[in-house]
Amino acid sequence: MTRSANLGFPRIGARRELKRATEAFWANPRDRSALEHTAADLRAANWATQRDAGVDVVPSNDFSFYDQVLDMTAALGAVPPRFGHAGGPVGIDTYFAMARGTAAAPAMEMTKWFDTNYHYIVPEFHRGQRFEPAGTKAVDEFREAAALGVHTRPVLLGPVTWLRLGKSKEPGFDALELLDDVVAVYGELLARLSDAGADWVQIDEPMLALDLDAAEREAYARAYAALAGTGPAVMLASYFEGLRDNTELAAALPVAGLHVDLIRAPDQLEPVLNAVGRDTVLSLGVVDGRNVWRADLDAALAPVETAVARLGAERVEVAPSCSLLHSPVDLDLETDLDPELKSWMAFAKQKLHEVATLARAAGEGREAVAEQLAAGREAVASRRRSPRIHKPAVAERLAAVTPEDARRASPYEERRAAQRAHLDLPPFPTTTIGSFPQTTEVRQKRAAFRRGDLDRAAYERFLEAATERTVRLQEELGLDVLVHGEFERNDMVEYFGERLDGFAFTRHGWVQSFGSRYVKPPVIFGDVARPAPMTVRWSAYARSLTDKPVKGMLTGPVTILQWSFVRDDVARAEVCRQLALAIRDEVGDLEAAGVRLIQIDEPALREGLPLRRADRDAYLAWAVECFRLASAGVADATQIHTHMCYAEFNDIMPAIAALDADVISIETSRSAMELLDGFVDFEYPNEIGPGVWDIHSPRVPAADEMRRLLEKAVRVLPRERLWVNPDCGLKTRGWPEVEASLAHMVEAARTLRREAAG
């Protein structure tokens, strides 16, 4: 029979139970049993959900108190020395200390898990590092499930991926030198799982779908040769990309099964079928684990049937493309969602049913699940023809876009002269990135307005007062370019999504971002259009209050795309172009309202970069085009700003320059301006505001500290092109720090002006 399998289920709970329990434990670490209970309940409920959905292969050890990479780090005893771990089992206090830091030891770094919005804790390596089996989590959870009557397939992160995800501070040291020692401990962990009764394990090696060098390929061969025969049969899981040039390598590894992602890379089916060994079980990821759409079951079944015909039903498994960790939990809770939209969607729980249906269709024939297939077909057809999705005006407008639309009227040097003439800014102009503190009061008023407890007029009066106070404060502090403060915004993407056609919002569609932080991305279900101005009211209001220039504040098309669940019936590039035109309209309206500096934030530009090098230029080309389409419609004298943070940009400098923004502000203060190197090496042509205040920390930097950072910048960049600003928006900071830090920032800029003049 063709089996259905799952690779991982969201651990956060349908109602975010894990968040509440974890944060309660952090607040009161004495009460550990409440957290343990919640965790056990969540695991039990998840196993039952999967079994009841008819999934044959149910995972265990996919649960985590914080992060599955940190779980592997703990299981291998790879605790960095600063946490004072003496060896042996890694307890929960050490575990959370690694994730969150303590007074004595800073937290381990955190970074993005491949191209998802999930963040993992980065393992740390050093020469001569020792490893040992330092935890029983995988075995305990396998036994826990077995006691509940569910025979599971435990999940482990594979050794090569784990090593490659980590970092070493020692120059010239390659973590792969640790491979043999690490693999020896994996061998022991696998043997223990086998002793506990596990007949299969799932080993995740997403790195197998990335560009590998010779050493990494050799590491794969060596690691899996060493593990062969030490424990349960291995289902080796690749996902997020196709195996491509690694297909032969993956197929030749001595493992019992191979999982491939046919959502991201449907074309790999044929090469994989040709390459797999005679007994290998092939797991086909045909249900999208990273999106919210109901699967097209007929389309998903085609590759499964092809594989069954070639390999036999016994050697084929049907699965989601990757762990369902990246999907919201349960669509059934969305009782407020419009029924038609809801009929087009599937969250993790619903995806399990799709997987089970597909496996039955492949094993027993389509007739066995005729009803489910028909229902799915109806939903897919209704989505395809819905007038709510397809708006002819949007398509016509896109078709009429010309290359000129994505080009400013004049080259930068001419624009610069026009902007200088009417902006009349001092050298080293000071500004901020947009938001000012989102205090409890601001959030409470918004919540009251949403509940209907505060009427619109009263809410807007409150926002006006907050905006006015912020404008006055900026005037008093002596900032040169003011902002309105973004008090009307809950979130930089949601605010725009709520004002655009084609977007929907869920109530419970949470996905883990890191630890106890979850996000609820908007859903772009149809053609995007802007029915009315979105921000003009607030920028124009701020402008009416002051003679100083006010900068308008928008989120860019690439960032809106990147932080949403995006429709899967058209290319992402196309959705992005629609977003770009909507933002372009807003830019035009701001300009018409007299707002002559307009910032379009693109903090997520870098994170949309494809995992494979070969795909990157194509992505950057459309991403840059979209930014330009959004921004290029303005007069020479209107100054376009952009802002980026969260990442290193040096590898995409040509693309950043190609945005042709007049001014870019970037996060640089934590790396003490190292990031600027990229801008210097590349001779970035336009103006730059390197962040001089790390807004991620409550610390108030001294004026001298900021002056020194600016002097560093002056040494490498033309001084007449420098701006002075914080690293990012100030919404997470408190007013006292903001006032003090901005005063110091203005002082630092003034000192530099004096030095330059004298």
| Catalytic residue annotation | 696
Cβ proximity to ligand GLN, 620 vs 738, nearer residue? 738
Task: Determine the Cα–Cα distance for residues 118 and 325; give it in Å rounded to an integer.
Answer: 9
First-to-last alpha carbon distance for the chain, in angstroms, is 84
| 60 neighbors 153 (Cβ within 8 angstroms) | yes
* Edge-to-edge strand ranges of the sheet holding 565-566: 501-504, 523-529, 565-566
Beta strand 110-112 pairing with 119-121: antiparallel
x/- map, 719-748, Zn ion, by CB under 5 A: ---------x--------------------
Cβ proximity to ligand GLN, 527 vs 601, nearer residue? 601
Task: Determine the Cα–Cα distance for residues 272 and 280; give it in Å rounded to an integer.
Answer: 11
492 lines the binding site for ligand GLN (CB under 6 A): yes
Retrieve residue 267's tokens: 């074309």
Q: Which of 265, 553, 647, 713 binds ligand GLN (CB under 6 A)?
A: 553
Cβ proximity to ligand GLN, 288 vs 586, nearer residue? 586
Beta bridge partners of 555: 601
Cβ proximity to ligand GLN, 486 vs 591, nearer residue? 486
Question: Which range touches ligand GLN (CB under 6 A), out of 237-245, 427-435, 496-504, 543-551?
Answer: 427-435
Task: Determine the Cα–Cα distance for residues 277 and 255; give it in Å rounded to an integer.
Answer: 10
Q: Which of 603, 633, 690, 701 binds ligand GLN (CB under 6 A)?
A: 603
Question: Which range touches ligand GLN (CB under 6 A), out of 91-99, 244-252, 428-436, 511-519?
Answer: 428-436
AA letter at 345: M
643 lines the binding site for ligand GLN (CB under 6 A): yes
Q: Quick one: which H or E segment has residue 183?
A: helix 179-195
Task: Determine the Cα–Cα distance for residues 564 and 491; give it in Å rounded to an integer.
Answer: 12
728 lines the binding site for ligand GLN (CB under 6 A): yes
600 lines the binding site for Zn ion (CB under 5 A): no
Count CB atoms within 10 A of the CB of residue 736: 11
Place of tokens 């009066």: 461
Task: Determine the Cα–Cα distance for residues 626 and 402; give it in Å rounded to an integer.
Answer: 12
Cβ proximity to ligand GLN, 262 vs 675, nearer residue? 675
Place of tokens 């999967």: 50
Question: Which range touches Zn ion (CB under 5 A), out of 298-306, 412-420, 547-555, 596-604?
Answer: 596-604
Cβ proximity to Zn ion, 527 vs 667, nearer residue? 667
Task: Determine the Cα–Cα distance for residues 13 and 5; give it in Å rounded to an integer.
Answer: 20
**In Å, how far from its chain's centre is CA 662?**
27
Sign of CA dihedral 42, 43, 44, 45: positive
What is the chain's alpha carbon radius of gyration, rounded to the nearest angstrom? 27
695 lines the binding site for ligand GLN (CB under 6 A): no
AA letter at 207: M
Cβ proximity to ligand GLN, 69 vs 600, nearer residue? 600
Count CB atoms within 10 A of the CB of residue 756: 12
Closest CA to 576 of 628, 533, 639: 628
Contact positions with Zn ion (CB under 5 A) in 634-653: 645
Cβ proximity to Zn ion, 596 vs 731, nearer residue? 731
Cβ proximity to Zn ion, 542 vs 728, nearer residue? 728
Could you tell me the CA-to-CA distances from 477 to 439, 472, 737 in Å, in that order?
20, 9, 13
Least spacing, CB of residue 693 vs ligand GLN, in Å: 13
| 558 neighbors 600 (Cβ within 8 angstroms) | no
720 burial (CB, 10 Å; 0-12 / 13-18 / 19+) is: exposed
Phi/psi at 25 (5° precision):
-65, -40
Least spacing, CB of residue 15 vs ligand GLN, in Å: 28
Sign of CA dihedral 354, 359, 360, 366: positive
581 lines the binding site for Zn ion (CB under 5 A): no
334 lines the binding site for ligand GLN (CB under 6 A): no
Cβ proximity to ligand GLN, 434 vs 515, nearer residue? 434
Total site size for ligand GLN, rule CB under 6 A: 13
Task: Determine the Cα–Cα distance for residues 234 and 583; give it in Å rounded to an integer.
Answer: 49
Least spacing, CB of residue 730 vs ligand GLN, in Å: 7
Return the one option of ligand GLN, Zn ion, none that residue 625 interacts with (CB less than 5 to 8 A, by type): none
Cβ proximity to ligand GLN, 240 vs 496, nearer residue? 496
675 lines the binding site for Zn ion (CB under 5 A): no
Least spacing, CB of residue 553 vs ligand GLN, in Å: 5
Return the one option of ligand GLN, Zn ion, none that residue 430 interacts with (CB less than 5 to 8 A, by type): none
Task: Determine the Cα–Cα distance for residues 512 and 747; give it in Å rounded to an integer.
Answer: 41
Return the one option of Zn ion, ligand GLN, none that residue 494 interacts with (CB less than 5 to 8 A, by type): none
Least spacing, CB of residue 578 vs ligand GLN, in Å: 22
Query: Which residues have CB under 8 Å from 168's CB, separation 6+?
Result: 124, 125, 126, 174, 175
Least spacing, CB of residue 726 vs ligand GLN, in Å: 9
| Buried residues in 215-254 as b, exposed as e (16+ CB within 10 A) | ebbebbebbbebbeebbbebbbbbbbbbbeebbebbbebe
Question: Which range touches Zn ion (CB under 5 A), out of 122-130, 328-336, 374-382, 599-607?
Answer: 599-607
Cβ proximity to ligand GLN, 155 vs 728, nearer residue? 728
690 lines the binding site for ligand GLN (CB under 6 A): no
729 lines the binding site for ligand GLN (CB under 6 A): yes
689 lines the binding site for ligand GLN (CB under 6 A): no
Least spacing, CB of residue 484 vs ligand GLN, in Å: 11
Least spacing, CB of residue 426 vs Zn ion, in Å: 24
Question: Which range touches ligand GLN (CB under 6 A), out of 15-23, 77-85, 432-440, 568-576?
Answer: 432-440
Return the one option of Zn ion, ligand GLN, none that residue 522 interacts with (CB less than 5 to 8 A, by type): none
433 lines the binding site for ligand GLN (CB under 6 A): yes
Question: Which range touches ligand GLN (CB under 6 A), out of 270-278, 369-377, 431-439, 538-546?
Answer: 431-439
731 lines the binding site for ligand GLN (CB under 6 A): yes
Q: Which of 198, 645, 663, 676 binds ligand GLN (CB under 6 A)?
A: 645
Least spacing, CB of residue 619 vs Zn ion, in Å: 21
AA letter at 566: V
434 lines the binding site for ligand GLN (CB under 6 A): yes
Return the one option of Zn ion, ligand GLN, none that residue 638 interacts with (CB less than 5 to 8 A, by type): none
Closest CA to 446 of 508, 501, 484, 491: 491
Least spacing, CB of residue 597 vs ligand GLN, in Å: 13
Could you tell me the CA-to-CA distances from 444 to 91, 113, 534, 538 in Å, in that order?
38, 33, 22, 20
Which 3-state string (H, E, C) describes 76-132? CCCCCHHHCCCCCCCCHHHHHHHHHCCCCCCCCCEEECCCCCCEEECCEECCCCCCC
Point out the residue whose Cβ comes nearest to ligand GLN. 729
68 lines the binding site for ligand GLN (CB under 6 A): no
Task: Determine the Cα–Cα distance for residues 509 and 333; give it in Å rounded to an integer.
Answer: 9
Q: Tell me which DSSP letter residue 425 carries.
A: P
Return the one option of Zn ion, ligand GLN, none that residue 553 interacts with (CB less than 5 to 8 A, by type): ligand GLN
Q: Which of 435, 562, 564, 642 binds ligand GLN (CB under 6 A)?
A: 435
Interacting residue ranges for ligand GLN, rule: CB under 6 A: 433-435, 486, 492, 553, 601, 603, 643, 645, 728-729, 731
Which residues of this protein are in contact with Zn ion, per CB under 5 A?
603, 645, 728
